[in-house]
Structure 1
Amino acid sequence: MHLATASRFLRHTIPLKLSDFIYEYPKELIANYPAEPREEARLMVVDREAEAIEHRTLADLPDYFEEGDVLVANDSKVFPARLYGTKEKTGAKVEVFLLRELNPETRLWDVIVEPARKVRVGNKLFFSEGLAAEVIDNTTSRGRTLRFLFDDEPEALYALIERIGHTPLPRYIRREAEPEDKTRYQTLFAKHRGAVAAPAAGLHFTDALVDTLTAKGVDVTTVTLHTGLGTFRPVEVEDLTKHRMDSENFQISAEAATTVNRALTSRTNKVTVCSTTTVRAIESSLSADRNLKAGSGWTDKFIYPPHEFHITERLLTNFQMPRSTLLIMVAAFGGADLIRHAYNEAMKEEYRLFAFGDAMLIV
């Protein structure tokens, strides 16, 4: 049944191009801080069937759920992935962005460095509290492999990074990271360390909002996808089929799969997915009968129009950057013309944009 429901919105018969996903936005609409309280963030509700738009707030979100519906969120936890240090001998300042740990035992990490032209294989870098690292390899023009010169247990290294690292706020946020961002840029659902970016739609949730949903009989469950920088790298090729995603690690528990599949096989309950990163995880893990499959793995799935969604029936997302894979995914789900209209309406109504901004619910 859920396949037929999804297919009603497959309107894209002509292949879309990158130029269909470029739009202008006033820089003053970029949210540098989240709404406080979080439930006061604005919520644009986009109805695909009626091709209509409503203007609400996050506090109204429970109005769109019925008993037995399911909300799926991403429980990945952001770690303070941005380190500031100096080069040996010259003392030149460097920035290191930790992408992912390659080997806990050998302390190897995949990183991005700035300024890249000054960081070469063999260089040693020094950070706060005596932490040092050596550049082992070049991976891309800005990418490097680092070995941290650290003799204690792997968890002790993570604890040190937690102390000296800075929250990896997106570059479009026009301020320096603050100590409060370690909690501010973390969702209520965050449990499993590994993301370098928060699943932004999850930032709107508070204990009170979740309590209201569960009191209404909504099943709230989580999956994990550790978001990397590749998700946010602008698409550079006009032909969307030529774009390649970086792989990201995901985990889906048996409990989450059971909860979601129960709703999928019902005649009345809906699966609402919170954040595009969650969509990527669950649409990457399908069983033979197109239900959600428990397990773990890596996904480089790039969702673009036309696409048939098998699990996602409704989507809660923030407003996405132009040229981004996330905006393209939203258009694949909501329909490119309707989403274009919704974004024009968002500019007109001065919705706050991006990670700390307002939200859109596509039903």
Structure 2
Amino acid sequence: MRTEDFAYELPPELIAAFPRPRGTSRLLVLPRQGSPWEANIRDIPALLTPGDLLLLNDVRVIPARLFGRRPGGGVCELLLLRPAGEGVWEAMGRPAARLREGTVVSFPWGRGVIQGRQGEGKLLVAFQPPLDASALEALGEVPLPPYIEKKRRAQPEDRRRYQTVFARRGLAVAAPTAGLHLTAELLAACEARGVEVVSLTLHVGPGTFKPVKSEDPRQHRLDPELYEISPETAGALNRALAFGRRIVAVGTTSVRALEDALKRGGGRVLPGVAHADTYILPGFVFRGTGALLTNFHLPRSTLLMLVSALAGRERVLAAYEMAKARGFGFYSYGDAMLIL
């Protein structure tokens, strides 16, 4: 297996800089057997089967990006990852070489002092006045993915649009983007059809954008991500598995959490908190994922590898070529694929 096995060319104009209105995305349906066809996200209820279980990731994206000035006036950027003490955050910053220990970053509302490094480009930043999650909501900017930021800066509307309608809790620096397509009305229609809808929380970190640099993808280090499964969700998942009902994961983050939990529980989902470190590549044996709603992912990425593990690399790449030919939007704000 080589990383280049998951490469494909994409015209830049197919990288979606803006999303379609929620609930109107185009949908490429890819059955495990048979030919793919085009549908629309509003067809999701009809494409599911009564008795299916739809698994969501209800994590909230925080406005984690801050822009400040270094001594001398140079602009710098901090991406806050998680609280690390009172007024202290773990963060990533750029220009990284200029953000040394002791550097003071000035903001219109206060300052941040670089306290040290934690490896892999991560910093500890102490803010004055202390910066909590509620203050960040008012001061931060939505952390759009790099490939969108190359096209445009975040806008006020992104605060709503780069968030799922079912986001409830947690700290994520990237959205579980497959869920961005769904509306409350679509979820209600799924339930009316007899589909059970449950959620877990996986706190999406910056590792979701971490490129695979090794020639052999098996040598890549996948960043663990914190996830939480409630007793109610664990019970629903275990009942579905016991009765042979299909689990339809919404997004690769839901797949990672589900499969990691099943591995830890020996085939059962245990409630609680854990760090997902299960690396899903072709050849992986899925214990619970029966179908997947997902976006179109970057070439050579761990997300494309996960999707290929579920549906087959050649079939997935052929479907991507079909989506390209039909002008589908790609990546976080792009269109969707349903693997059945």
> Cα offset for 1:288?
4.5
| Secondary structure in structure 2 of the residue aligned to 1:94 | strand
Q: Are residues 1:150 and 2:134 paired?
A: no
Contact 1:250 1:299 in 2 (8 A): yes
- Per mean C-alpha deviation after superposition, the further-off stretch among 286-295 and 53-62 is 286-295
Which residue number in structure 2 is paired with residue 7 of structure 1?
Answer: none
**CA–CA distance in structure 1, aligned partners of residues 124 and 147 of structure 2:** 26
Provide the aligned length of Structure 1 versus Structure 2: 337
**CA–CA distance in structure 2, aligned partners of residues 192 and 320 of structure 1:** 25
> Cα offset for 1:202?
0.2
Which residue number in structure 1 is paired with residue 321 of structure 2?
Answer: 344
Contact 1:126 1:133 in 2 (8 A): yes
Contact 2:170 2:201 in 1 (8 A): no
**CA–CA distance in structure 2, aligned partners of residues 141 and 260 of structure 1:** 35
Paired residue type of 1:93: V
Paired residue type of 2:5: D
Instruction: List runs of 5+ in structure 1 lacking aligned partners.
Output: 1-15
Q: Compute the RMSD of aligned alpha carbons.
A: 1.4
Correspondent of 1:43 among 9, 19, 27: 27
Q: Could you say if the C-alpha distance between residues 254 and 199 of structure 1 is closer, same or farther in structure 2, counting changes exceeding 3 Å?
A: same
Which residue number in structure 1 is paired with residue 19 of structure 2?
Answer: 34
Instruction: List runs of 5+ in structure 2 lacking aligned partners.
Output: none
Correspondent of 1:114 among 79, 94, 115: 94
> Cα offset for 1:66?
2.1
Q: Are residues 1:83 and 2:62 paired?
A: no
Which residue number in structure 1 is paired with residue 225 of structure 2?
Answer: 248
| Secondary structure in structure 2 of the residue aligned to 1:172 | helix
**CA–CA distance in structure 1, aligned partners of residues 49 and 309 of structure 2:** 25
Q: Percent identical across equivalent pairs?
A: 40
* TM-score scaled by length of structure 1: 0.90
Post-superposition Cα deviations, 1:268-306, rounded to whole Å, max 9, x if no partner, equal x31100000111111111265513222111122221111
Which residue number in structure 1 is paired with residue 4 of structure 2?
Answer: 19
Which residue number in structure 1 is paired with residue 334 of structure 2?
Answer: 357
Which residue number in structure 1 is paired with residue 293 of structure 2?
Answer: 316
Post-superposition Cα deviations, 1:337-362, rounded to whole Å, max 9, x if no partner, equal 11111111111111110111110000
> Cα offset for 1:248?
1.1
**CA–CA distance in structure 1, aligned partners of residues 265 and 2 of structure 2:** 31
* TM-score scaled by length of structure 2: 0.95
Which residue number in structure 2 is paired with residue 53 of structure 1?
Answer: 36
> Cα offset for 1:246?
1.4
Which residue number in structure 2 is paired with residue 161 of structure 1?
Answer: 136
Correspondent of 1:102 among 80, 84, 89: 84
Paired residue type of 2:164: T
Post-superposition Cα deviations, 1:86-134, rounded to whole Å, max 9, x if no partner, equal 124x12211111122222x3x322211111121111111122322x111
| Secondary structure in structure 2 of the residue aligned to 1:111 | strand
Q: Are residues 1:69 and 2:46 paired?
A: no
Paired residue type of 2:175: A
Aligned positions of 1:182-221 closer than 5 A: 182-221=159-198
**CA–CA distance in structure 2, aligned partners of residues 127 and 142 of structure 1:** 21
Q: Could you say if the C-alpha distance between residues 217 and 128 of structure 1 is closer, same or farther in structure 2, counting changes exceeding 3 Å?
A: farther
Q: Could you say if the C-alpha distance between residues 298 and 33 of structure 1 is closer, same or farther in structure 2, counting changes exceeding 3 Å?
A: same
**CA–CA distance in structure 1, aligned partners of residues 209 and 74 of structure 2:** 28
